[in-house]
Amino acid sequence: MSLITMSQKELNRLEAIQKIRARRLSVVQAAELLHISRSQVHRLLQAYDRAGADGLVSRKRGRPSNRRHTQDFRNHVLDLVRAHYPDFGPTFAREKLVERHGLGISKETLRQWMIESGLWTSRRERKRRIFQPRGRRDCFGELVQIDGSHHWWFEDRGPKCALLVYIDDATGKLLHLRFAKSENTFDYFQATKAYLQEWGKPIAFYSDKHGVFRTTHASEKDRSSGFTQFGRALYELNIDIICANTPQAKGRVERANLTLQDRLVKELRLRGISTIEAANTYVSEFIADFNARFGKEPYNPKDMHRPLAGHENLDGAMCHKEVRTVSQTLTLRYDKVLFILEPTELAKSVARQKVIVCDYPDGRLEIEHEGTTLPYRTFDTLRSVNRSEIVGNKRLDAVLAMVADMQAGRELKRSEKAPRRAGQTNHMFAIPDGSVSNGYQKRGQRPAPDRAAQP
């Protein structure tokens, strides 16, 4: 028997036996070294004396196991897998064989059978997908990668939040950062608006397939164009948006997120910053230092950013827009609120026509028709009970008092399709002249009842 065909365990035993015969090791010491009994050491010595090194090799080597399954059983199992579970993994296929066919077999045995028969490919043999590097774009502002990174940016000093990152593909420079409570359309509106005001319009933004940028159900986002609200805003400003199929495709912003999660977190810790507002104030200083350290010069010095055209309204584009039809009584509904247009000559002329409801990130809401803003007042169907309107009827007063208490005790829920954003409390009830309609100062807050005025 060649030493090459011996296992490591058998080689260790051979070395110990040879040392015993050379009187350099005792039987007791060999038993402790090999973790076997002294009787087993004596048996190994006898086998070595009879056949030399070959006597230490297991006689089961090369022979089939006494517990192996028959060839007919193997073929039966593989036939079932081919017929019923061709795309199942070994673990899942084994569960179904036990559950549906009553065939007991270990998953590792089934794995080996499936690999040998070509029904399964081991992870080591699977071809890894190759992502070849892509060169940078030539010009600054030609392609800007955007992404949101959810992280514990303030560690244990503040809540988990999102960082919206804008990075130039040609130079690797950070162009804008904004902290937000979540990655939503209205925060992207505000961040992109600030970016465009500072740098101008890039040729295209490069993003992932987040719902802010891409939708497979256009009718649920924008009934008129098929874009998401963010995509529609960029289209109005003549900016393209490209969605990457994989995170590796937009690797520049993904790698920047890892760097930010290391450096920016520590910079915020050193400065004791623990709020989104304070972090947004600091990021301009961090961007300047980051770009000085890691920014590259573009291959072509031309800046591809474009200024806003005269007909382009940045503030008007960066808002949530939905189309509504005005009724004959000059009313329309949006987010379960009834809007009543002031009966001006223009408002009377748009009866049964479509208008655009513009919901701005700062809480303003305007109703437009062909570029003209229509004045309105609101009637909130969820807040139809007002304690100040209760009259002297005692029975009616008691019923309405109970209803008002029930409404005050539960959350006022809006439509699921209505826009949502964090930090906006004055949404929808500020009328165009700046006053507040229906007596409510902020959305979600009910004025305290004037109990002294009750009968």
Instruction: Write the pLDDT tens digit of every residue in 196-210.
Output: 999 999 999 999 988
What is the CB neighbour count within 10 angstroms for residue 355?
22
- pLDDT computed for residue 408 by the predictor: 63
- pLDDT computed for residue 378 by the predictor: 87
- pLDDT computed for residue 446 by the predictor: 40
- pLDDT computed for residue 129 by the predictor: 67
Would you kindly state where each structural domain of the chain is located, as residue ranges? 3-56, 71-116, 139-303, 321-455
- pLDDT computed for residue 217 by the predictor: 62
Per-residue pLDDT of 25-72, as tens digits, reads: 999 999 999 999 999 999 999 988 888 888 888 777 777 777 788 888
- Determine phi and psi for 151, rounding to 5 degrees: -160, 165
Task: Give the largest CA-CA distance in the chain.
Answer: 117
Contact predicate 20/38, CB 8 Å: no
pTM of model > 0.75: no
| Residue 215 structure tokens | 């939708």
Buried b (16+ CB within 10 A) or exposed e, 142-155: bbbbbbbbebebbe
| Residue 451 structure tokens | 């109990």
Helix axes 27-34, 38-51, angle to 10 degrees: 100
Rounded Cα distance between 49 and 32, Å, is 21
The sheet with strand 174-180 has its strands ordered as 174-180, 161-168, 143-151, 204-207, 240-243
Rounded Cα distance between 66 and 193, Å, is 75
Amino acid (one-letter) located at 378: T
**Fold of the domain spanning 139-303:** Nucleotidyltransferase; domain 5 (3.30.420)
Chain-centre distance of CA 452, in angstroms? 52
Non-local CB neighbours of 408 within 8 Å, separated by 6+ positions:
446
- pLDDT computed for residue 358 by the predictor: 93
- pLDDT computed for residue 409 by the predictor: 61
- pLDDT computed for residue 251 by the predictor: 86
| Residue 232 structure tokens | 């529609």
User: pLDDT below 70 — which residues of the chain?
Assistant: 1-4, 128-129, 131-132, 216-226, 380-455
